Amino acid sequence: MATRKKASQEVAPEKTAPGKKAAPAKAGARKGAVRKSAGKKKPGKSGATPARARAAAAKSGRQRKSAPVAAAGQPRRAEVLRETSETRIKVALAIDEPGYSISTGVPFLDHMLEALSRHSGIGLNVDAIGDTHVDDHHTVEDVGLAIGEALRRALGDKAGIARFGHFETPLDEALVAVTVDLSGRPYLVYNLSLKPQRIGSFDVGLVEDFMQALMTAAGMNLHINVRYGRNPHHIIEATFKSLAKSLAMACARDSRMVGIPSTKGSLAG
């Protein structure tokens, strides 16, 4: 009787049929327990039920889908060396590591790039040598190309970023709006009407050349709209500061964005 009671406890879900000996039930219990244990340790075809298969597939799908978020945790940095017969530009850019060291040989451009780095939080080192004895144009344009290329490389496939940015900066009497889309498609809207003039030795017309080069190499939509303003220095500085804040927004990681922020699955252009 004690033996039967013990067997009954071991196989609680299965009741011993009337007239059956307890020993076979106990053996069956041991056999069933072994099968169950083996199923846990080493599931074979019998363990791969449709429900389990669907659960495993769903889990695998979730892991693949979240992979870009993990990849986005890598440092976003790039270095570019651009050399021509007119200029030699070296740029190191780090999206998430603030700080700057700027030397272009064009003092007003240095001032604007320092503002761009400071207000975006994007680390930027620029070392440029150009034929400024001829004109500042080659240096200003090539610096824009090198920074844009470095930004494009540092962003990688752009998985997990916000992509869009918009900001309006006041500077005394001036107000300038800048909108950015890191779409991979270069397009410039430049509504910054300044009379031909110089700020120190800097030709204000070179600002458009810089922006054209930057957005082309970076592969972005860039819209610049001056709401109003009088002083050209204020207008240009407000432009660079609005660009800085817009880029900070567009480059920021969005925890809600899984993968590339595009319905077509690519921001390569």
pLDDT in tens, 143-163: 999 999 999 999 999 988 999
Domain count, the chain: 1
Higher pLDDT, 267 or 155: 155
In a domain, 132, yes or no: yes
Compute the average pLDDT of residues 220-239.
98
In a domain, 228, yes or no: yes
Q: What is the rounded average pLDDT for all residues in the chain?
A: 81
Compute the average pLDDT of residues 129-140.
96
Record the tokens describing residue 101, joined without a space.
């060291």
pLDDT of residue 93: 98
Distance CA 46, CA 247 (A): 55
pLDDT of residue 142: 98
Statement: residue 67 has pLDDT above 50:
no
Identity of residue 208? E
Compute the average pLDDT of residues 175-203.
96
Statement: residue 85 has pLDDT above 60:
yes
Q: Name the nearest CA neighbour of 166 among 185, 182, 154, 146.
A: 182
Confidence of residue 70 (pLDDT cuts 50, 70, 90): very low
Q: How does pLDDT run across 240-253, given as a tens digit for each residue? A: 999 999 999 999 99
Q: Yes or no: say if 119 and 246 are a contact pair by the CB < 8 Å rule.
A: no
pLDDT of residue 73: 63
- For the chain, give the percent of residues with pLDDT over 90: 65
CATH number of the domain encompassing residue 118: 3.30.230.40
Statement: residue 38 has pLDDT above 60:
no
pLDDT of residue 266: 72
Compute the average pLDDT of residues 11-20.
46
- Which of 8-17, 112-121, 154-163 is predicted with the least confidence, judged by mean pLDDT? 8-17
What is the torsion angle, in degrees rounded to the nearest 10, for the CA atoms of residue 233, residue 236, residue 242 and residue 244?
-100
Secondary structure of the chain as H, E, C letters: CHHHHHHHHHCCCCCCCCCCCHHHHHHHHHHHHHHHHHHHHCCCCCCCCHHHHHHHHHHHHHHHHHHHHHHCCCCCEEEEEEECCCEEEEEEEECCCCCEEEECCCHHHHHHHHHHHHHHCCEEEEEEEECCCCCCHHHHHHHHHHHHHHHHHHHCCCCCECCEEEEEEEECCEEEEEEEECCCCCEEEEECCCCCCEECCEECCHHHHHHHHHHHHHCCEEEEEEEECCCHHHHHHHHHHHHHHHHHHHHCECCCCCCCCCCCCCCCC
In a domain, 141, yes or no: yes
In a domain, 90, yes or no: yes
Higher pLDDT, 156 or 50: 156
In a domain, 48, yes or no: no
In a domain, 236, yes or no: yes
Statement: residue 228 has pLDDT above 90:
yes
pLDDT of residue 32: 45
In a domain, 226, yes or no: yes
- pTM value? 0.73
Higher pLDDT, 257 or 95: 95
Q: Which domain holds residue 236?
A: 81-251
Distance CA 194, CA 41 (A): 76
In a domain, 235, yes or no: yes
